[in-house]
Amino acid sequence: MPSEDEATKERDDFYTRVWAVVARIPLGNVTTYGHIAAYLGARRSARMVGWALNAASGMPIPCHRVVNRYGGLSGSHHFGGPFIMEDLLRSEEVEFDDDGCVRMKSHLWIPEEETD
């Protein structure tokens, strides 16, 4: 079992890697907690991706571009109001369906499929 310091270092490293992926999400696109976790080799760690995004409060990374697997704005309560996340996405011309979810077929960015 890792020591408390080792566990903290592992968590901080994971958070830093999450933030690096989120920083690459193109304007007008979204990705999911699960896609980020899978890209980082931690497929079952979508919830931990959410914790990393919560820890990024005040950092200049586009956390509003991360949605749940259905395109729902499950992290919107962390943006200071119920509609701020949606407003930020709409300002980037992200489209929503009638249920208030991002139109994933039009706006999903998958890190594995990025080409340099």
User: What's the pLDDT at 13?
Assistant: 92
Nearest to 49 by CA among 57, 40, 58, 62: 40
pLDDT tens digits for 7-45? 677 777 999 999 999 999 999 999 999 999 999 999 999
Residue 105, Ramachandran bin (φ over 0: left; ψ between -120 and 50: alpha; else beta): alpha
User: What's the pLDDT at 39?
Assistant: 97
Mean pLDDT for the chain overall: 91
pLDDT-derived band of residue 114, with 50, 70 and 90 as boundaries? low
User: What's the pLDDT at 80?
Assistant: 81
Higher-scoring residue by pLDDT: 112, 14: 14
Helix (H, G, I), strand (E, B) or coil at 67: strand
CATH number of 4-113: 1.10.10.10
CB 108 within 8 A of CB 73: no
* Mean pLDDT across 80-88: 89
| Domain ranges (residues) in the chain | 4-113
Helix (H, G, I), strand (E, B) or coil at 96: strand
Residue 103: pLDDT above 70?
yes
Residue 115: pLDDT above 60?
no
